[in-house]
Homo-oligomer: A and B are copies of this chain.
Amino acid sequence: MSIYLHDIPLSTAQDHLKQSLEAAGLWQVLGSETIKLDENALGRVLAEPIWASISSPHYHASAMDGFAVISENTSGAGPSTPLTFPVEAESAHYVDTGDPLPEWANAVIPIENIESLDENNNITQAIQRPASIRIRAAVAPWSHIRPLGEDIVATQLVLPSGHTLRPVDLGAVAASGHQEINVARKPRVAILPTGTELVPIGSKLKSGDILEYNSLVLAAQIKTMGGEPKRYPITKDDFDLICNNVLDAAKDHDLILLNAGSSAGMEDFSSKVVEKLGQLLVHGVAVRPGHPVILGIINREGKQVPIIGVPGYPVSAALTTEIFVEPLMAKWLGRRPFELPTEEAKLTRKITSPAGDADYVRVAAGMVGGNLLVAPLSRGAGVITSLVQADGLVVLPPGVQGMEAGGKVHVRLYRSKSELERTILCIGSHDLILDLMAQFLTESDRRLVSANAGSQGGLIAIKRGEAHMAGSHLLDPENGEYNISYIRRFVPDVPIKLVTLAGREQGLAVRRGNPKAVHGLNDITRADVQFINRQRGSGTRVLLDYHLNQLGISPDLIHGYHQEEYTHLGVAAAVASGRATCGLVIAAAAQALDLDFIPLFQERYDLVFPQEYANSQLLAPLFDLLAAPGFRTAVSKLAGYDVSMTGNVVLDDKF
């Protein structure tokens, strides 16, 4: 077993797959089928061009309800020189919109422009069959007529092959005389999730269980691309079982996606399966996330079926499918590959990237001060929310080892520019209330994107003009005041409006029932209490030290004071697992892990706005929200929040 992956460049891997499929006769449209022209044809790809078999209209048709006349006979008619035509052949004849023009006629006068007369030349209401009509304006030849072939001329090209059918296309195909169409057959794609640790969606989870949802994402991606996915049930890590399922899938499918089992560990069978059942083309591609991609071709009774070993991490899985499967589906359907609009943008934070890898960086995006800014999201291959939150992708080509903050990048955008113009970019400390705010703001047609960079990171973003607002809860140990001194230090030159979002409780998380009876900071020095701390520099650590100092408690007396976690959740997890008795967290973290919470301190969580944006159209709905009773009620229902100060203006610099 090879335990080292030999990554090859992405373009080499793509070429290798393409050439092998060409050799197998599989780099072309897979086949076509004739389907009925109805609304189910929507989104299908034409396998042949549509040439018109009839003209439309197929006769000279009246374009209006009115009277068909001979244009030349109307010349001279005017407001004070009306002309009268008896309703009879070669003179005037009533036509509805769409009626064929009589042979002798070459113009139509709309019904609004005539006077209907009875036998005595009096105006009558017998619109359709008057004795005669009177007109007060001449009409040019071919007026109000849709000439034969105005829309479509028999034999003309209506739609090229490879075209994906939209609603109006269906009408044009019908109008050109077709009732059936020849479309590319949908590629059938088998998706096989493998892994003993996997459990189906909805399972009750125990430690080590992994929810299997990659097959769901992959199936939905295949549908979006125009293919027909089939999700197999989870296969355990058993070489023979996997081989059997792959062979079964090869029977009726055009492509097999074998998910997970593609890295180099002990239970990774994918490459061995491919080697046994066919030809292993590529094992390992220099693309991030996604490295342990496998490309191969399975042979089953003379039939060759490409197989892709898709990495197990959800972000790797989704991006691998975009990178390798989408071009293949495009080729098989005969359509153009999907393409995202690309714009130039400014990077808000440094990105590092291993040399040699094509690096797909998910970014949030927004327009601040007329600039398109992109903020890198979590780089973790396991963080599917980074794809959910992504407004775009920045691809760093191999050879580029990273990019400094402020650098120009090209971003492939998932969202329209007008959506980005309605996006409020919040960088700084994250809090659950921002999520709630995001939900409320959708109703005012605003999108709140918040990137977690910590309170100080938020102030730096404000200084750099990279955010419309920042969340901050920085306590000044000198004076016990929040945020103001930090704002003056970090953003001395920007006029600021500082508004309180809410009071937030910090307290001790303990196991359900509080078995060690911990009630305050005085208890954490006890010998039977094991504490778990946050890292130095975190707001919560500052808060703890401030209060220990106030109480005159020496940190040396606390067991575990030097044991550090990096997040509220990390602290709560240590308590939940029994590694520690208690730790200082916000209430929400305790609630998330089903712990008891002993409230100790209120801290103030404020929003920091440059005045430039505080008064903007963009942020107006957000200020409305801070004043809205419905929003305050929703916040006060969250554990550990106090809305009595919500909306208080703490600072209001001159603009």
Contact = CB atoms under 8 A, between A and B. Distances in A.
Nearest to A264: B65
A76 interface: no
A342 B418 contact: yes
Given A150-B380, A210-B98, A384-B172, A435 B103 contact: no
A208 to B, nearest CB: 5
A127 B418 contact: no
A23 to B, nearest CB: 21
Contact of A39 (B208, B229, B264): B229
A150 to B, nearest CB: 6
B147 A567 contact: yes
B142 A566 contact: yes
Which of A49, A60, A169, A592 has the most CB atoms of chain B within a 10 A radius of its CB?
A592
Given A4-B112, A158-B385, A37 B175 contact: no
A138 interface: no
Interface string A141-159: 0100011111111111111
A154 B592 contact: yes
A223 B38 CA distance: 12
A210 B146 CA distance: 13
A214 interface: yes
A197 interface: yes
Given A382-B151, A570-B147, A591-B155, A217 B171 contact: yes
B3 A111 contact: yes
Contacts of A369: none
Contact of A127 (B38, B159, B266, B384): B266
A26 to B, nearest CB: 18
A197 B99 contact: yes
Contact of A208 (B54, B59, B314): B59
Given A168-B217, A591-B155, A224 B59 contact: no
Contacts of A589: 153
Contacts of A229: 39
B179 A201 contact: yes
Contact of A438 (B96, B103, B112, B157): B157
Given A128-B266, A175-B384, A569-B55, A418 B341 contact: yes
Given A167-B224, A264-B111, A566-B147, A39 B382 contact: no
Given A96-B266, A154-B593, A168-B387, A220 B39 contact: yes
Which of A159, A161, A172, A569 has the most CB atoms of chain B within a 10 A radius of its CB?
A172
B37 A216 contact: yes
B224 A201 contact: no
A65 B260 CA distance: 13
A382 B418 CA distance: 32
A385 B153 CA distance: 11
A285 interface: no
A34 interface: no
Interface in A314-360: 314, 318, 336, 339, 341-342
A569 B210 CA distance: 67
A596 interface: no
A6 B102 CA distance: 30
A156 B432 contact: yes
Nearest to A168: B387
A24 interface: no
Interface in A171-225: 171-172, 174-175, 179, 197, 201-202, 205, 207-208, 210-211, 213-214, 216-221, 223-224
A489 B506 CA distance: 84
Interface residues of A, number: 122
Contacts of A162: 442-443
A42 interface: yes
A625 interface: no
A165 to B, nearest CB: 8
A100 interface: yes
A445 B160 CA distance: 12
A581 to B, nearest CB: 15
Contacts of A649: none
A408 to B, nearest CB: 18
Contact of A217 (B167, B263, B432): B167
B570 A383 contact: no
Contacts of A339: 416, 418-419
A588 interface: yes
Interface of A: 3-4, 37-39, 42, 49, 54-60, 63, 65, 94, 96-100, 103, 111-112, 127-128, 142, 146-163, 166-172, 174-175, 179, 197, 201-202, 205, 207-208, 210-211, 213-214, 216-221, 223-224, 229, 231, 263-268, 312, 314, 318, 336, 339, 341-342, 378, 380, 382-385, 387-388, 416-419, 432, 435-436, 438-439, 442-443, 445, 566-567, 569-570, 573, 577-579, 588-589, 591-593
Given A39-B219, A148-B570, A160-B439, 10 more contacts: A39-B220, A97-B265, A98-B197, A99-B197, A99-B208, A149-B592, A153-B569, A153-B592, A171-B314, A342-B418
29 contacts: A4-B112, A38-B219, A39-B231, A42-B220, A42-B223, A57-B382, A65-B265, A96-B197, A99-B208, A100-B207, A103-B579, A128-B266, A147-B566, A148-B569, A149-B567, A151-B385, A153-B569, A154-B591, A161-B439, A167-B318, A168-B384, A168-B387, A170-B220, A171-B213, A172-B385, A174-B201, A175-B385, A179-B201, A179-B202
Ordered nearest first, which 6 A-B pairs have the shortest CB separation?
A65-B265, A157-B435, A179-B202, A167-B220, A174-B213, A154-B592
